[in-house]
Amino acid sequence: MKNKGAEYIWFDGKFIEWEKALIPINTHALHYGTSIFEGIRAYKSNNNLHIFKLKEHMERLFRSASIYSIKINHTIDEMVDGTVQLLRKVNMRESCYIRPLSFVGVHGIDLNVTYESPTHTFIIVFPFARYFQTEGIRVGVSSWRRIHDSSMPPIAKSGANYLNSILATQECKRNGYDEAIMLDKNGNVSEAPGENIFVIKNKTIFTPDMASSILEGVTRDTVIELAKDLGYTIIQRPILRSELYIAEEIFLTGTAAEIIGVVSVDGRNIGNGKEGQITKKIRNTYNEIVTCNNNNEKYKGWTTEVW
């Protein structure tokens, strides 16, 4: 999004015009990265707009806030309702991206952020279709290591954490790749700058465990459950870099990226250099669910209707 996505935003519980959403230049988050946020998708389908796992995303927002002692002055239910009401307010009828964000306001220049520090929360929405424009991407392993829990908690979706992701993304783009893969401090596979990773070998699906410095992705959790429902074995464990080169399939997951196959790593083809069959099956099932075109009753509660 390079311009305003809608005429209004939700700011501290009220709807305000985009142009009036102003913050002071001495806002703490601008100087020190003291913000936490979420990325949520809503999909147009069946003459409605369906928000995918809205409550689960808001729950993670609150978990991230608690790690950094950033107070959110609203309840989860208020955030959920605020999202739906904002989409109605701006008459959003097409697939879109939703960004809730809480940040520390005019606190001063000291670093002692507490639950008493002034905070604000906003929600913005903008039309959004595909993040990657193909069914398969080329990735390169970055020389930048993923942040570790001993320094900056990877499980918190904080603004400051993403400077680490930006470095890896810049490097991979300079080297001609579509996306990066980051290793953890031990040299094991962690994740992509904005996505979790899954590796398939001998029809078994592997994904890095929580100790591999990953973000606990909502889409990741969804795929783990879907894969099990489809009859696949999922194993969470440390993954060696070299295992990427001998994988039968690799795919990434994330709210923006959804499910995207990896066709090469460091210039080495994965499988036949195209999206794999297991990846395709999981991706198609996921797409059916987020657009409410899957008849399995188990998944009906995963989306929230707007209209």
Catalytic residues: 157
Distance from C-alpha of 265 to C-alpha of 140, rounded to nearest angstrom: 5
Average pLDDT over residues 201-207: 97
pLDDT of res. 1? 60
Task: Give pLDDT tens digits for 253-306.
Answer: 999 999 999 999 999 999 999 999 999 999 999 999 999 999 899 998 999 999
Average pLDDT of the chain to the nearest whole number: 96
pLDDT of res. 104? 98
Task: Give pLDDT tens digits for 162-202.
Answer: 999 999 999 999 999 999 999 999 999 999 999 999 999 99
Distance from C-alpha of 227 to C-alpha of 128, rounded to nearest angstrom: 26
pLDDT of res. 130? 85
Task: Give pLDDT tens digits for 220-262.
Answer: 999 999 999 999 999 999 999 999 999 999 999 999 999 999 9
The answer to whether residue 3 scores a pLDDT higher than 80 is no
Domains within the chain, CATH numbers bracketed:
8-127 (3.30.470.10), 136-290 (3.20.10.10)
